[in-house]
């Protein structure tokens, strides 16, 4: 079963969007299998965003992401990597349709409230970076047969 790493960024926490964002993923039918609130270190964030290290905004990005608590989560479900990205909207909120998280709740690319893994490979790397194996919870939801054939 596919998993993805999602994180509500410090602006999402400050703006009290935690419940709203989790609610959308829950209602969709995805299963939450890990979650923790944490103040991410610059070292962790530099590693997390390593692919962007040569971009001009890398330093500011790491600073913003470590400026307050984040909600780190792992969500599981059919095509969850791709679908969570669709639910988030585009990187730039101006390109995000209303109805998406970024389309509904933010305006600035550098304050875009949520992170989501961009591929299954990224998801595996990011889950391993943010969580220990025993923090991932295996559980059956009684609603499963009403969400999947
Ligand atoms: P994440 O889910 O956070 O990884 O966003 P993404 O996959 O949609 O975008 P990407 O990985 O390319 O960039 C990571 C983050 O860097 C974005 O979410 C933005 O917060 C920030 N970012 C990306 N592009 C720009 C930019 O052109 N300017 C600024 N200031 N920030 C950017
Ligand atoms: Mg990304």
Ligand 2 centroid, distance to 27 Cα (angstroms): 24
pLDDT at 119: 98
Pocket test for ligand 1, best of 61, 90, 108 (most atoms within 8 A of CB): 61
Structure tokens, 141: 């939801």
125 CB-contact burial (10 Å; exposed 0-12 / middle 13-18 / buried 19+): middle
Tens of pLDDT along 50-71?
Answer: 999 999 999 999 999 999 999 9
With a cut of 70, list the residues of the chain below it in pLDDT: none
Give me the interface pTM, i.e. the ipTM. 0.95
């Amino acid at each position: 079963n596919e998993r993805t790493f999602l994180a509500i960024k410090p602006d999402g926490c400050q703006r009290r969007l935690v419940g709203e964002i989790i609610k959308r993923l829950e209602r969709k039918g995805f299963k939450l299998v890990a979650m923790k609130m944490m103040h991410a270190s610059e070292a962790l964030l530099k590693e997390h965003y390593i692919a962007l290290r040569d971009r001009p905004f890398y330093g500011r990005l790491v600073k913003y992401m470590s400026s307050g608590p984040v909600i780190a989560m792992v969500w599981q479900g059919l095509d969850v990597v791709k679908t969570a990205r669709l639910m988030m909207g585009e990187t730039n909120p101006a390109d995000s349709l209303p109805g998406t998280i970024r389309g509904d709740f933010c305006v600035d690319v550098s304050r875009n409230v949520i992170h989501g893994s961009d591929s299954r490979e990224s998801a595996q790397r990011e889950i391993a970076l943010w969580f220990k194996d025993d923090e991932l919870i295996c559980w059956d939801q009684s609603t499963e047969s009403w969400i999947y054939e």
